[in-house]
Chains A and B, each alone.
Chain A
Amino acid sequence: MTYTSYLYFFGFAIIVYVMYLLFPIKHRWKVLLAGSCLFSIILDGFLSLCLFVTAFSSYFCALQLTKMQDDFNSAKKGLSKDEKKELKNKVTKQKKTVVAAAVIISLGILIVLKYTNFFLGTINGISAFFRAGFEIPLVGFVLPLGISYYTLQAIGYVVDTYRGKYRAETNPAKLLLFVSFFPQMTEGPIGRYDKLMPQLEQGHRYNNEDFTAGITLIFWGLFKKLVISDRASYIATDVFSDYNKYGSFVIILAMICYTIQLYTDFSGCIDIMSGTARIFGIRLEPNFRQPFFSKSVGEFWRRWHITLGTWFKDYVFYPVSLSKPFMKLSKASQNHMSKFMASIVPSSCALFVVWLGTGLWHGADIKYVLYGLYYFLIMILGTLFEPVFVKMFSKSKIDRRGRLMNSWAVLRTLLLVNMGMTMFKANTIGDFGAIIWRSFTNFSMNDLMYGTLFERGTDRHDFVVIAIGVIIMFIVAVLKEKGRDPLKSVSTGRIYIKWPVMIGLILAVLVLGAFGPHYGVVDNIYAQF
């Protein structure tokens, strides 16, 4: 049941919404819970057990953490300063054990299911290299959909409770709802308890503005996914699976198409989900902010899959940076290195861990590890050469913040990101190298000149639709960047703007969407992680 299927809309979402409105406000969250559990069971079958284990282990651990903190607060009264300190250290240690237990359970399920074959494959590879003469058979685990998202969400919740950011949830059913909330279960955005839970447990009345905004967002997401992404997917899949047949022109076109496909697929799906949540009166965290207007790769990652970036920042980067070995490293580098290097080295090491994690999160493959490290390398090189750039610009008197340089920065980021996306799509890292090599060396325009370009599953009509779609997306993005969200104006604007836009959007999806007897279902890329 994908988010774009009839089954999801007509057999699930509408029914859950009607039930939601029929229930008394106080109990409406229970409808969401039942819907989310059902959704998980339909998608994952008995594998949805993983979700329940993660949710309940997080619930118990967080509850324990709050209890420990309460006990400490009441016990510390009347104690001397030293005794307080001693007790605090003891409690902190105990709390750390509890957090570790929660993380080991949730992350353990994810690691076993997702990475076992990667580890075994690596061991087999090493064994083959040294001719050790043994090979461990691979296992046939199936990954439940959404596990990479809800695991992070649950860990975030437990760690925040440990940090005392909020008290633990006392109702296990409510926590289960927080972890499993169906619009964000399979592709995120990765939500935070303090922002999401109050919205989930509070029943929402029907609200015209929310409803209109939700429907508009759903159709905008469907437009991105069905009209643009699924059309672009055919040429990208065809060329990447057999790149040896094609010259540079088609390969570069396929690379661009894949970037378009990935962005419209992921952000389209997030829009559909945010729209669905919005109809229920719930606002999900934004996951994208016009990423292709970024002037650097670092900025790109702050605008693309935002909730993953902030999750890694809060729960990996900070803890790693503040851990004892890193503090030692920081001190050592301050003592033995130049001021500039001392400021870079410790944070780079922490960033390395973050990007290794980000890469691995995307998939259990050496390709994804290198994908993460590719961005890490670009950022580190950028930081290292920053003083050189500063000198260069001040000497040449070129205005670094001028329009020309800004445009160049955007274009450069686009090229680097496009390269990263190619690595992401290529079957192996060897294929990635070969694709890039061919795109530079095998110059050929034959496919364009003889019209065979249009025989790759994406015909000339599709290209026109993709182009128009991208132009519309570009205009919307420019307006959003300027602080005027056209989608918001649709839901709040006057009828003569609102209706034509909404009807136009609905009809565009119905007529131009790549669905029907002659189209296969293109699975959401980010739901597979």
Chain B
Amino acid sequence: MKNKDSENINKAEEKNISEETKKETDEMNENDEGLSGTENKPEKKRSKAFVYAGKFFRGLCFFLILALLLPILTYMFHPKNNTVEDGMKDQNAHGFYAEPANTIDTVIIGNSEAYSSFSPLEMWHSHGMTSYVSAQGAILMSEAYYILKEILKNQTPSVVVFETDVLFPLKSDDTLRDRTLNNVMENEMPLFKYHDNWKIFKMGQFFAPIKYTWQSFSRGQMVDPSTVPLETPELRLEDGKNEEYKNGVISPYIMMYLNKFVDLCREKNIELILVTIPNTLTSSKENHEAVHKYAEEKHIPHIDFGTHPEYANIDWTMDTRDGGVHLNTFGAKKISDYLGNYIKDHYDIPDRRNNKVLAKRWNNDYKKYQGYIRYKLKALEE
């Protein structure tokens, strides 16, 4: 029964397919005749040309309609403010949108290591230096490049600090290839990035004007004063778990965008500093050396807190919030003190404390930051 049924069906399908193919072949033959039509049939030749022109015109119209609809959709789903409720992913990393134009002198870019290890408010307090940490957990190098491009639309920083943990993600080359391509597409066609915002938008939000107003009081830093000590008191670089991936080798998909990142800084006359914060996940001698080698080749200063623990004297029993993967606020203060001094000593960065309006906001936020740390510590004690 089974066989008989399926045979009948197969025959029917075969018949359909062969009929369709025949029809198509006939059409194709007709087309061929039309194309190679003899001189005796000039009218037919012209009419075929018209048909083709018509088809081409219709195809063009179709793509034009699509091309018109896409920007409209892109606008509809684009975040209307730099907050999660308004459709912006990773709110903390995008607080720079609401900073007054040309007021950020140092931009810090990286992954979770960056938002845990740098404190713009500490750098402000010590040196009157304005900075912003635009960092996202497990950020891709291509995303780091695009975020710098985005920041440079409204800010003219003199220094860009890049945290090099981004160069050694715990992922295979194939995954990095696919993710980088996805990321590039999403940044070039923002609809691909934000199309999911229909889930959170209310009716009025689709066509509301875009206005970025949310300011991060910590300037992108994740303020976390809690402590979970590293089990061994010293962080040894060879303890990193990176071996199963690539050790000391920067993936070509990362290298491509690292080079673009460096070129962008050069093009805009921005001083770039590579900073390496050690951690128990990706640190290894080979990785640190690979960054060092790259920095030397490109003549970029490289501050490596891993091979030079004396720079910041990180105490791994006190200065980490998760047993050696990320620093806590105390660790961040040590790193920021060193970095602030380094930038002040090497680059011509203005002291912005003279600008009263700006200083008022930064001082207020510094107070808020200290209050927040006290509040968190108290809550932890309780």
Contacts and interface: CB of A to CB of B under 8 A. Distances in A.
Nearest to A1: B178
Contacts of B102: none
A217 B59 CA distance: 17
A510 B181 contact: no
Interface in B1-48: 1-3, 5-6, 9-10, 13, 17, 20-21, 24, 27-28, 31
A309 B66 CA distance: 41
A11 B10 CA distance: 36
A5 interface: yes
Interface stretch (B184-192, B218-226, B332-340): B184-192
Nearest to B175: A521
Interface in A3-26: 5-7, 10-11
Interface stretch (B194-202, B280-288, B343-351, B367-375): B194-202
Contact of A283 (B17, B77, B185, B194): B17
B73 A511 contact: yes
A513 interface: yes
Given A6-B182, A7-B181, A283-B17, A205 B28 contact: yes
B6 A510 contact: no
A465 to B, nearest CB: 9
A421 interface: no
Nearest to B185: A6
A219 to B, nearest CB: 12
Contacts of B69: 503, 507
A94 interface: no
Tier of interface size on chain A: 35 or more
B58 A495 contact: yes
A5 B186 CA distance: 13
B6 to A, nearest CB: 5
B55 interface: yes
A459 B178 CA distance: 26
Interface in B286-332: none
B198 A313 contact: no
B185 A510 contact: no
Contact of B2 (A302, A513, A521): A302
Nearest to B136: A517
A127 interface: no
A516 B198 contact: no
A5 B181 contact: yes
Contacts of A195: 17
Contacts of A7: 177-178, 181
Q: Name which of A207, A461, A511 has the most chain B CB atoms within 10 A of its CB.
A: A511
Contacts of B77: 511
Nearest to B20: A283
Contacts of A438: none
Interface in B160-196: 177-178, 181-183, 185-186, 191-196
B89 interface: yes
Contacts of B191: 510
Contacts of B182: 5-6, 515
Contacts of B186: 516-517
Contacts of A208: 55, 59
Query: Chain A: interface secondary structure?
Result: helix
A298 interface: yes
A397 interface: no
Interface in A159-199: 195
A313 B66 contact: no
Contacts of A88: none
A516 B193 contact: yes
A145 B182 CA distance: 22
Contacts of A516: 186, 192-196
Contacts of B73: 507, 510-511
A207 B199 contact: no
Contacts of B21: 283
Contact of B181 (A6, A207, A302, A502): A6
Contacts of B13: 286
Given A286-B13, A495-B58, A459 B181 contact: no
B9 A302 contact: yes
Contacts of A306: 6
Interface string A481-504: 000000000000001000100110
B196 A298 contact: no
B65 interface: yes
A298 B195 CA distance: 42
Interface string A199-210: 000000101111
Interface in A308-363: 309-310, 313, 317
A511 B194 CA distance: 9
Contacts of A515: 182, 192
Interface string A287-314: 0010000000011001000100110010
Contacts of A495: 58
Contacts of B50: none
B181 A310 contact: no
Given A298-B2, A511-B195, A516-B192, A207 B177 contact: no
A207 B32 CA distance: 12
Nearest to A509: B195
B89 A207 contact: no
Contacts of A11: 181
A208 B31 CA distance: 12
A1 B177 CA distance: 9
Contacts of B2: 298, 302, 313
Contact of B9 (A210, A289, A513): A289
B368 to A, nearest CB: 30
B342 interface: no
A185 B198 CA distance: 36
Interface in A242-262: none
Interface string B101-134: 0000000000000000000000000000000000
A506 interface: yes
A521 B174 CA distance: 13
B62 interface: yes
Contact of A207 (B28, B59, B66): B28
Nearest to B200: A461
A313 B31 contact: no
A10 B73 CA distance: 21
Contacts of A518: 89, 196
A506 B181 contact: no
Contacts of B185: 6, 10
Contacts of B6: 302, 306, 309-310, 313
Contacts of B193: 516-517
Nearest to B10: A310
Contact of A302 (B5, B58, B196): B5
Contact of A503 (B27, B66, B192, B196): B66
B121 to A, nearest CB: 28
A511 B2 CA distance: 42
A286 B9 CA distance: 11
A96 B9 CA distance: 31
Contact of B178 (A5, A209, A289, A513): A5
A502 to B, nearest CB: 8
Contacts of B31: 205
Contacts of A517: 89, 183, 186, 193
26 contacts: A5-B178, A6-B181, A205-B28, A205-B31, A208-B55, A283-B17, A289-B9, A298-B1, A298-B2, A299-B5, A302-B2, A306-B6, A310-B10, A461-B198, A461-B199, A499-B65, A503-B65, A503-B66, A510-B73, A510-B195, A512-B195, A512-B198, A515-B192, A516-B195, A517-B193, A518-B196
Given A7-B181, A313-B3, A502-B62, 5 more contacts: A302-B2, A313-B2, A511-B77, A518-B89, A518-B196
Interface of A: 1, 5-7, 10-11, 195, 205, 207-210, 283, 286, 289, 298-299, 302, 306, 309-310, 313, 317, 459, 461, 495, 499, 502-503, 506-507, 510-513, 515-519, 521
Top 10 nearest A-B pairs by Cβ distance? A461-B199, A302-B6, A6-B185, A511-B195, A6-B181, A298-B2, A7-B181, A516-B196, A208-B55, A516-B193
